[in-house]
């Protein structure tokens, strides 16, 4: 019997999103990158004229907004469909203006509490691979299988630099590494849901490993887990 609820946490560019999506496809489970939910709040706030710097207003919006993440409803390259009050916002949440402000929204404690409640609601149905930075530690501490993917800052910066180079962005490896180290510092020391290895999680260091090698390792743990 396979674990029904699987969490994958880890720092930026540790491979958790790639592996989470592949694992969900392999198992026939829902893939849920929880960052998409914070992006949905950000997009709706901007669309409705709610200032993202207004913690009380954004928190009220997050508390009233019904967000669902479901399997892809269109064959357009999406990994899942994100619905905000029933509206498909899957690609809207990837707009540059969301990129620029989602970190503000996701830092608000009230927003995080509202999203945790919605993430638990979705996970209650089971058969889900949920990815983020506080899933095994805060959102679903009793998950059937908890994984934590990590890699050296240099390796993670190299991956992200190659991604940005492939998109035609003119950025140096040194700049990406500096941003990576700053993000690690913020994520690990924030007062609300800091990034940490969840209790009971299996840590997998992906430094120097291919996606195929990491997947093989993850599948061994999935197949031997005791749900």
**Contacting residues for 77 by C-beta, under 8 A, at least 6 apart:** none
Residue spans of the domains in the chain: they are 1-14+132-207, 30-125
CATH no. of 1-14+132-207? 3.40.50.300
Comparing C-alpha atoms, which of 149, 125, 123 is closest to residue 17?
A: 149
Q: Which residues pair with 150 in a beta bridge?
A: 205
Q: Averaged over 146-174, what is the pLDDT? A: 92
* pLDDT per residue as tens digits for the range 90-117: 999 988 788 888 888 988 999 999 999 9
* pLDDT per residue as tens digits for the range 204-219: 999 999 999 999 999 9
Q: Is the pLDDT of residue 39 over 80?
A: yes
pLDDT of residue 139: 96
pLDDT of residue 144: 97
* pLDDT per residue as tens digits for the range 166-183: 888 888 999 989 988 887
Q: What is the DSSP string of 102-154?
A: HHHHHH-HHHHHHHHHHHHHHHTT--EEEEESSIIIII-TT-SEEEEEE--HH
pLDDT of residue 82: 97
pTM for the full predicted model: 0.89
Residue 24's CB is within 10 A of a number of other CB atoms, namely 23
CATH class as words, domain 30-125: alpha beta
């Amino acid at each position: 019997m396979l674990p029904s609820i699987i969490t994958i946490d880890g720092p930026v560019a540790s491979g958790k999103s790639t592996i989470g999506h592949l694992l969900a496809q392999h198992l026939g489970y829902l893939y849920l990158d929880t960052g998409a939910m914070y992006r949905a709040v950000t997009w709706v706030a901007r669309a409705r004229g709610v200032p993202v710097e207004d913690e009380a207003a954004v928190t009220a919006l997050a508390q009233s907004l019904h967000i669902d993440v479901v399997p892809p409803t269109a064959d357009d390259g999406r990994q899942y469909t994100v619905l905000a009050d029933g509206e498909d916002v899957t690609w809207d949440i990837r707009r540059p203006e969301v990129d620029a402000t989602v970190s503000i929204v996701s830092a608000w404690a009230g927003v995080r509490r509202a999203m945790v409640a919605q993430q638990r609601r979705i996970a209650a149905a089971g058969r889900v691979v949920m990815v983020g930075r506080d899933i095994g530690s805060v959102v679903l501490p009793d998950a059937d299988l908890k994984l934590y993917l990590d890699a050296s800052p240099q390796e993670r910066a190299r991956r992200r630099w190659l991604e940005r180079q492939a998109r035609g962005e003119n950025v140096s490896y040194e700049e990406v590494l500096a941003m990576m180290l700053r993000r690690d510092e913020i994520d690990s020391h924030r007062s609300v849901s800091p990034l940490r290895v969840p209790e009971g999680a299996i840590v997998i260091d992906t430094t120097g490993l291919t996606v195929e090698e990491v997947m093989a390792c993850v599948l061994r743990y999935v197949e031997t887990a005791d749900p």
